[in-house]
Structure 1
């Protein structure tokens, strides 16, 4: 569920919303921080979260900060988190529900920031509130829809959530309110979004997309061997990715 075994081409086909969000994160970072293009810089000034300007009626700043990041490490951390934890939800919810949940959870985090942050001139940006919204949905599954997760994935969700909350409260420069309200927003949205949801299955994705490619339907004698390889090494790859994220969070600028 959280171990990515798809090829790059499969990932783009199976999870177009996650792929597009990652492209937006990294593309905006590239155009703003590296190329410093005029329109991109204007969008940055136009879109950064600013509690004072939201209070003056610039309500779009509740949405636009979700797509902006404070440097490469910040953009990479959130994009990597999205690649690990977004695909399963995109399949389970469907494309429309997934993007609505992602934006709504991020907006809920920014609304919480506006209502509670003590400094009216508080500036903020990043997709962390939306990412925590993913965990809010998983947390709801943990308590109410365990058949969608299974025991092993339930343990992973709780470990990662505890780690995320620990870093939220122990690192400086973190928008704590966006994280907490994004988590609450994802949890609150989960019941209607998960109606009719089925457990994640990579084979379901491959079966659906193989209908247009006859070569995928043919028997592949190496398929079982590849599956066993992923089963053997996938958990090491996953936890290596988690350690990488933790290192970015601890030593990077978030």
Structure 2
């Protein structure tokens, strides 16, 4: 006969899912790298800790004032179903920073509201230039800079900006979206993954757009969720638009995506707020 003197019950407050958001939307995969996560010092809820595993981080909450704790012990006998029932906890905002020591993913800040009660927030990470995987040259590249202001000697790079490309196939009319993030200097490579050359060479249209935040360009930990839509012009052109049409050039067995015809160098794009 087994006698239960004490049973420890430990339940997680929440679980963060880290997702690779580079490439085709809808095909995101878990980030399995050994991430380094630091919670912000000004989080209202205290006594939070993190246990990181590949693809996810478990949030432990040691104490909930005035409520049943997620970590508790049953002193006498076998715990009942009621004892094991997860208590409802007050929600909170989870803030912090994340770094990939391997450099495959860009660093970022994050802030997720209404965490707790196993809400399973998903946080997107974007690949660095080092970690970007290109396929058959199906990629779009460029340099992003902000429109030069009167008090600036040089235009400022649009560091960490988010770039998007919507590809619509001419044969079926199906649309596919692709995302990537520029580096700290505004240079980006946007991979057009999981679309075959056969599908693309049959004809397509592509529209490019950008989200950015000038205040975050020089920060070590930008927050992609705080980026807003920008208007775009090629080089120092005077005509700004919400999106740019992307053209394609077929050379032997390669399909080159570009912003200008017969492009021989990386095109610089100028950004400004709408």
TM bracket (short chain): under 0.3
Higher relative contact order (CA 8 A, sep 6+): 1
TM-score, length of structure 1 as denominator length: 0.27
> Which structure shows the bigger proportion of residues in helix conformation?
1
Rg bigger for which structure? 2
TM-score when normalising by structure 2: 0.25
